[in-house]
Chains A and B, each alone.
Chain A
Amino acid sequence: MKVTFPHMGNAWIVIQTLFESLNIEVVVPPQNSKQTLTLGSKLAPEAACLPLKLNLGNYIEAVREGADTIVITGGIGPCRFGYYGEIERQILREAGYHFDVVTLEPPDGSLRGLAQRIRYLAGKKNSWASILKALRFAYLKCVALDQVEDMIHAARPRLSDSHETERLYEEGKNRLAQAMTVKGIRDSVCSIRQSLRDHQMAGIKNADKFHKPLRIGIIGEIYTILDPFTSVGIEAELGRLGVEVDRSIYLSGWVGNHIFQGLAPGYRSIRSYPSHAKPFLSHFVGGHGQETVGAAVKFAREGFDGIIQIFPLSCMPEIVAASVLPRVQETYQVPIMTLIVDEHTGHAGIQTRLEAFVDLLERPSLKGISETSREGVSLVGER
């Protein structure tokens, strides 16, 4: 059995760690690329959302490296992601790929069924204690990864050499991917923090005054905000434009909430978002629709200069959120831009829009004027 799984940003590091510490053979599919998307789009229904297309591409690329079992999580929210496992199985079967798909969720609510599926993956040689230990270790790594990512978010607008920052990020990810002990994880986080600090000190000596960058909050559908290929590297791009980025959902927050059912908080817990969203969207709408609205409110209250929502074309929960966001925008006077991505999204288009958005935020007179971004205006429609 060779297990593979779909990509989602840095999640591969965590999943690989989990399987390797259980001695399960695992195939990490090649990173998301144009090729992945082309392969996936061929098989996927045209109206399906972007993550499904990328997932299918991942599997087909993993086949070439001998993968025969897919592991994916599920859920019975009204979001389409809950049905990915089954539809992917059927699509792949029809296309002639013989995968075994294991959906890690309690089938019809039975925990016993979930336990059987885990047992099927882990084989007989792993005890439950070792499975739990592996889960805990993977979770710690996940939190560490998020810490590193957050440090990089802060570092991007502050360090003078953007290539150097990206290099440090890559190095940090590699070190974490290879860490096999809890101490190793802690050490790599510390060393990345140290090297970032060193770089910043060097930068401050050169600059004459302390620079306070613009802050933009990124909200939206989890796959698109966690996966830099899908969002056309929006975080790095904004960093290059001198903007500090924060994000509504981090991987460990999602893992804690979705997989551990709220038993673990994660690096940045997403639990507080629904209460923030209450005045604007009082009921959950599946996926992270309510969290998106809540995060927008939270970012606005924290004084962020702007908010960008990203979601794949036709994402149901995010469309609901998008139609509520104009009210958040009006209430808190914070510009909100919506970016929709699909397989035709071009890098240049997104870049232009980001530059325009940042220009708009940088205009110091903005505070007094209620004029908002074009997207904001078109979202509200005729007032």
Chain B
Amino acid sequence: MKIGFPRALFYFDYFPFWAGFFYHLGIEVETSPPTHRQIMEDGLKKTSDETCLPLKLLAGHIQALKDVDAIFLPRMVSMEENTYNCPKFLGIPESLLSAVPPEIPVLSAVINWRKGQRQVLKDLRVLGMQLGKSGAEIHRAFLEGHEWQQHYQDSRGRKWDFEEKMREIEYVTRQTQKIKPENFSMQVSENHQNCQKDLKITLIGHSYLVQECYANLNLLQRLREHAEVNLIQHVEREDVEAHLSGLRKKLFWSHAKQIYGAGNKFVEDPTIDGIIYLTCFGCGTDSMVQELLAQKVRKHHKPYMVITLDEHTGEAGLVTRLEAFLDMVERRKVREGYVSAYGECLDSHSNTL
């Protein structure tokens, strides 16, 4: 049996788990190719205009999956206690059924960690029944998937390259002999670890925007050419938790929590020269978190730029803004930010810089 796994949205955070899960069950996982123009256009046609870019891309990736026995669209309700994913994650697969080719069935599973591991296993067993697997097998597959996910998350702290990591996981899933995650190849990617750049820039945003090179017009690579880039995805969970203070009410979206906590850490870090917030048009959680973070940034007088992506984002516009921002950050670093202290802060009334 061959299952199609779209390379969008939940792929960027949770693919290792599902790869390990299906690997253990002996089910082949086929991922869609990296986003290209046709995928984006197909996606736009099959979704409502109001929804956000990542979901439109997901619809495109679903259509790009050919020759598979089923398409896997999990409903990732919650990934840890007391949090939810964005409501649009909760609406999968129903909200995307119109994008699925009529001849291919859809497989789905609910993942809800709010009610603890037992509930997750119970829901997975429902998926197991559809696949014809026993409860014990599902349990072992779950543990294996969990191990892969853990391994992946631990390695993120060591600043591994996302794409290489994913390529490796995809490679392993195609092998027949069993490989344990500890034995995955361990080389740290060369291209951005050794280079020493003067500027340190933090790129904040959802994993499915930051790592989606087609939609963000290769922003990450462009930034890396000029500066050392920190990603919030590389921040350890304890660090995130430690920087959530200052909120009277806990954030209840897991992505938002990570963005705010890790973002906060970088805002307070004096060695970081500038912060870029990557969001997409219509992102509900970002509209709130961006505001919370912008307030912090204004307080710390950090250069800050918000880039809003949508399907019409043009390369020239993005490059111009990026160059201007980097120029500004560099100049500020050289001149130590000697700005007249007279009068009012220029940006005190704007939400974004």
| Residues on A facing B (Cβ under 8 Å) | 45-49, 74, 76-80, 82-83, 85-87, 89-91, 94, 103, 107-108, 280-287, 289, 313-317, 319-324, 326-327, 340, 378-382
Contacts and interface: CB of A to CB of B under 8 A. Distances in A.
Given A78-B86, A281-B91, A286-B90, A49 B250 contact: no
Number of contact residues on B: which range applies?
35 or more
Contacts of B281: 47
Contact of B90 (A108, A285, A323, A382): A285
Contacts of A381: 45-48, 98
Contacts of B98: 323, 326-327, 380-381
Given A78-B86, A289-B87, A313-B50, A45 B351 contact: yes
Interface stretch (B16-24, B132-140, B285-293): B285-293
B32 to A, nearest CB: 20
A111 to B, nearest CB: 16
Given A285-B91, A286-B87, A322-B50, A87 B252 contact: no
Contacts of B150: none
B284 A314 contact: yes
Contacts of A83: 249, 251-252, 288
B84 interface: yes
B110 interface: yes
B302 interface: no
Contacts of A46: 287, 351
Nearest to A107: B249
B84 A340 contact: no
B87 A317 contact: yes
Interface in B94-145: 94-98, 110
Contact of A319 (B46, B88, B248, B286): B88
Interface of B: 45-51, 75, 77, 82, 84-88, 90-91, 94-98, 110, 247-253, 279, 281-288, 290-292, 295, 308, 351
A324 B90 CA distance: 13
Given A45-B287, A86-B249, A283-B94, 15 more contacts: A45-B290, A45-B351, A47-B279, A47-B287, A48-B288, A77-B84, A87-B291, A90-B291, A91-B291, A289-B91, A319-B51, A319-B95, A323-B95, A324-B91, A381-B47
Given A78-B253, A80-B287, A287 B87 contact: yes
A78 B85 contact: yes
Nearest 10 interchain pairs by C-beta: A320-B91, A47-B287, A78-B84, A316-B87, A323-B95, A316-B284, A45-B291, A286-B87, A86-B249, A285-B90
Contacts of B249: 74, 83, 85-86, 103, 107
A314 B45 contact: no
A320 B284 contact: no
Nearest to B75: A283
Given A48-B288, A382-B45, A82 B252 contact: yes
A285 B97 CA distance: 16
Nearest to A280: B94
6 contacts: A45-B351, A46-B351, A78-B84, A320-B87, A323-B51, A382-B46
A89 to B, nearest CB: 7
A111 B98 CA distance: 43
B51 A80 contact: no
A320 B253 contact: no
A45 B50 CA distance: 18
B87 A379 contact: no
A139 to B, nearest CB: 26
A181 to B, nearest CB: 38
- Of the candidates B97, B283, B288, B290, the one having the most CB atoms from chain A within 10 angstroms of its own CB is B288
A240 to B, nearest CB: 28
A322 B86 contact: no
Given A91-B291, A323-B98, A47 B286 contact: yes
B279 to A, nearest CB: 8
Contact of A80 (B85, B279, B284): B284
Given A316-B284, A323-B95, A90 B87 contact: no
A283 B51 CA distance: 18
A87 B292 contact: yes
B47 A108 contact: no
Given A45-B287, A45-B288, A76-B82, A322 B87 contact: no
B48 A327 contact: no
A281 B279 CA distance: 27
- Of the candidates B45, B88, B97, B251, the one having the most CB atoms from chain A within 10 angstroms of its own CB is B88
A85 to B, nearest CB: 7
A314 B252 CA distance: 18
Contacts of A379: 48
A314 B45 CA distance: 19
Given A45-B290, A86-B248, A108-B250, A286 B84 contact: yes
Contacts of A86: 247-249
Given A47-B283, A83-B251, A319-B51, A324 B288 contact: no
A362 to B, nearest CB: 27
A283 B77 contact: yes
B290 to A, nearest CB: 6
B284 A315 contact: yes
A281 B94 contact: yes
Nearest to A379: B48
A282 B94 contact: yes
A320 B95 contact: yes
Contacts of A78: 84-87, 90, 252-253
- Of the candidates A83, A91, A107, the one having the most CB atoms from chain B within 10 angstroms of its own CB is A83
A151 B295 CA distance: 47
Contacts of B94: 280-283, 320, 323-324
B297 to A, nearest CB: 12
A326 B290 CA distance: 33
Contact of B88 (A107, A283, A320, A326): A320
Given A46-B351, A85-B249, A324-B95, A80 B285 contact: yes
A319 B84 contact: no
A154 B197 CA distance: 70
Contacts of A327: 97-98
B90 A314 contact: no
Nearest to A77: B84
A125 B187 CA distance: 69
Contact of A283 (B97, B110, B288): B110
Nearest to B279: A47
